[in-house]
Amino acid sequence: MGTIRCTFKKTGLLTLFFSCSVFCFAQQNSPRAAAPIKTPVSLRADIIVEKVMNIGRLGVRLILNPKTREFWYSTFDGNVFRISDFDTPEAKEHQIFSAEDHGITRLQGAAFLGNTLYLCGNISVNEGKGTKGRMVKYELSGSKPIMKEVFNTVEYGTNATTFDHGWNALVVSPDKKFIYVNSGARTDHGEVQDNKGVYPNARDNALTANVFRIPVSAENLLLSTDAAKLKADGYLYAEGIRNAYDMTFDGKGNLFGVVNSGDYDQSEEMFWIREGRHYGFPWQMAGIENPQQFSPWEPDPAKDPFISPGSHAWIVKYFRNDPDFPKIPEGVNFSAGVQNLGPDANEYRDIASGKIVDGDITGRTVSTFNAHSVPLGLVFDVRNVLSPEFKGDGFVFRYGGGSDRPGTNLLRKAGKDLMHLDMSYNSAADNYYMKTTTIVNNFNAPVDAVMVDNKIYVMEHGTANSEGGRIWKVTLPKK
């Protein structure tokens, strides 16, 4: 399995948020001729898709400086670029920072507050066996950018697997007082990941699988693995979220995050993230219990259809009998994901029959999107500028899926698209329900998006073995 780990590291973003099966991995490294680069296709006459520009490889975050109105983007390996003459034929990228400047070697989070740039990710310690989370900020108003450290974390174990998600998504609160940051799980489903024994019995800890809230004025913080202290200091905002790789606020000030589940066929989720809530990980994902918490358990793809025989977690034996799996903390209640009413992204594996079924046919809601679809690039029409059909609504991209290969199951057939999220609050459930409809498809690894007026700009990732990514503009109808 050493070859697989090496290749995942080379592909960059796949390492950290795409819990990809060996089937998916093999597609990316197939010896046969490469498939033609996809060109997005609008499914409606009133939605226009146009290419903006080509960019470099490993793009992760596309962000807009609200003061200068310039677009920037960052890459997984630590580079930060400013784009001049954006959305014109003269558009050009200019490298501003590298990992050597800010010290973040796995850069996955970037956001602007005015003319201040926040960057977040992980650094390597203990000869690559351990890691620390790190956030810095650059004030860009002067003649020379000034960097200040916002926080570093104590050391904890990274691991020799594809499931170490790291610190990633950043979003500034509407009142501009706080910056929210997601730290993804360091496991697939809560199993021990000890990095070949260097960090004995290490599972997830208080610095992983949680969302944090940091004052924008904070500097030189040291975050520990003491959950009680993190809560008392006001930093630990919400728990039990496997990997909210993208978070944003809607027009009403509600914080939402889209989440990638693990190699078990549990649906991907979208959470209404609220202070003090626990969202289930590692004991529950998408309303389905993690069977590894119940011992004795004998995992077997022949008996459990939720385990794909080609999944990475099965092949390397992360699914196993685990009598020491932690118990659910006493008094903790789990908050459910946003419920998807369809008609799209609502295929799921039924817990009773084990079959993949369509929610449109069964009449059940899904929490929230089809498994392994990797929802990213979540945006909202916060200024209510769109036509009545879309006014105030959300939009999200699927990084995964979209396979037309023979034998592809229903969970992976649709994807690599832009979906409209028509959301409404259900007071009885104290949760959001939504209708989900694909409006543009045929993207190639869409990873992050920015909405400006009635336009959504989306960046494609561009893996390490590709020529690079692209930025597209999707123009939606205005009111």
* Omega before residue 11 within 30° of 0, cis: no
Identify the DSSP state of 91: -
Q: Which residues contact 205 (CB under 8 A, 6 or more apart)?
A: 156, 186, 225
Task: Of 86, 45, 39, 26, give the one whose Cα is nearest residue 62.
Answer: 86
Sequence letter at residue 350: D
Confidence at 331, pLDDT banded by 50, 70, 90: very high
pLDDT score, position 16: 43
d(Cα 446, Cα 442) in Å, to the nearest integer? Answer: 10
SS3 14: helix
In order, the DSSP letters of 410-449 are HHHHS-SSEEEEEEEEETTTTEEEEEEEEEEE--SSEEEE
Confidence at 2, pLDDT banded by 50, 70, 90: very low
SS3 4: helix
Confidence at 141, pLDDT banded by 50, 70, 90: confident
Task: Of 436, 462, 463, 417, give the one whose Cα is nearest residue 49.
Answer: 417
Confidence at 467, pLDDT banded by 50, 70, 90: confident
pLDDT of 259-301, one tens digit each? 999 999 999 999 999 999 999 999 999 999 999 999 999 999 9
pLDDT score, position 161: 76
Q: Is the dihedral of CA 109, 164, 184, 244 positive or negative?
A: positive
Burial of 22 (0-12, 13-18, 19+ CB in 10 A): middle
SS3 23: helix
Largest CA distance in the chain: 64
| E-assigned strand segments in 207-311 | 210-215, 221-223, 236-239, 244-249, 255-259, 269-272, 284-285, 288-289
Q: Are 102 and 110 in contact (CB under 8 A)?
A: no
pLDDT score, position 11: 42
β-strand partners of 183: 167, 210
Measuring CA to CA, how many Å separate 28 from each of 12, 22, 35, 346? Answer: 13, 10, 10, 26
Q: Which residues contact 368 (CB under 8 A, 6 or more apart)?
A: 258, 267, 268, 269, 270, 286, 337, 338, 339, 340, 345, 375
**Least confident range of 251-255, 281-285, 400-404:** 400-404
